[in-house]
């Protein structure tokens, strides 16, 4: 008999939720009862800091059995409350891994240090290039010929933690910002599950 180690993950997302939905499909919906791997990734809960973020409704429809929470965090003044509530959800669901999937807020140094090597982020550029917001547009506007996607551990310094996986996306002459965004998202949907499998399975 294979002994299973379950990794309970919580997803934090602020927007559209394509990465959150993709991870839920792979590790929750499509995984079904097939938990034969020695270690299984369990999506235990989803948190959004934006009340009207599409991700909330999308997860509720796609996976009604996954609890979804709205915890307000729009301005820095709300961070302390957000992190306190998040910690109680983390305890309640025995979370071992915090997955940032388009989470557009900065976590405090104290919070990040408390969950050292337990917070993972995806960023739409080849870090350390194009850190911060609007990374796809920044790379496109700069005129680089290659950009990409990075999955990395979160450390107190923003977009600077150890790299877990990185993939290149070529910017072709005929690419527009819209086609580049589609290519980046396609790559994200491949690389994020692959990175989690690399760490845990
Ligand atoms: C993704 O491109 C992700 O890499 C980016 O936000 C998008 C969310 O899309 N994250 C960052 O820029 C973090 N700095 P989604 O809501 O469709 O998953």
* Domains delineated in the chain: 1-115 (3.40.50.170), 122-201 (3.40.50.170)
Q: Please tell me the distance from the alpha carbon of residue 161 to that of residue 176, in angstroms, as a whole number.
A: 30
pLDDT tens for residues 96-130?
Answer: 999 999 999 999 999 999 999 999 999 999 999 99
Q: For ligand 1, say whether the CB of 180 is within 6 Å of any of its atoms.
A: no
pTM: 0.95
Q: Is 101 in the pocket of ligand 1 (CB under 6 A)?
A: yes
Atom of ligand 1 nearest to the CA of 181: 2
Q: How far apart are the first and last CA of the chain?
A: 17
Cβ-Cβ contacts under 8 Å for 193 (sequence gap 6 or more)? 22, 23, 26, 27
Distance CA 169, CA 89 (A): 36
Question: Which one of 22, 123, 187 would you pick to mutate in the ligand 1 pocket, going by the greatest count of ligand atoms within 8 A of its CB?
Answer: 123
Tens digit of each residue's pLDDT (9 = 90 or more) over 46-99? 999 999 999 999 999 999 999 999 999 999 999 999 999 999 999 999 999 999
Give yes or no for residue 2 having a pLDDT over 60. no
Q: What is the pLDDT of residues 120-172, one digit of tens each?
A: 999 999 999 999 999 999 999 999 999 999 999 999 999 999 999 999 999 99
Q: What is the reported pLDDT for 16? A: 97
């Amino acid at each position: 008999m294979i002994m299973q180690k379950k990794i309970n993950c919580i997803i934090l997302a602020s927007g559209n939720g394509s990465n959150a939905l993709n991870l839920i499909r792979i590790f929750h919906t499509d995984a079904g009862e097939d938990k034969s791997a020695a270690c299984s990734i369990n999506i235990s809960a989803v948190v959004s800091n934006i009340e009207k973020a599409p991700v909330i409704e999308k997860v509720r429809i796609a996976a009604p059995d996954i609890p979804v929470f709205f915890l307000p965090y729009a301005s820095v003044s709300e961070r302390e409350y957000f992190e306190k509530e998040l910690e109680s959800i983390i305890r309640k669901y025995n979370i071992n891994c915090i997955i940032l999937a388009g989470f557009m807020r900065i976590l405090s140094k104290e919070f990040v240090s408390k969950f050292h090597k337990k917070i993972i982020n995806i960023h739409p550029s080849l870090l350390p290039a194009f850190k911060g917001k609007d990374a796809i547009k920044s790379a496109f506007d700069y005129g680089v010929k290659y950009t990409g996607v990075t999955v990395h551990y979160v450390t107190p310094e923003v977009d600077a933690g150890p790299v877990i996986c990185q993939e290149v996306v070529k910017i072709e002459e005929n690419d527009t910002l819209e086609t580049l965004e589609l290519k980046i998202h396609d790559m994200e949907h491949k690389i994020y599950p692959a990175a989690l499998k690399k760490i845990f399975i």
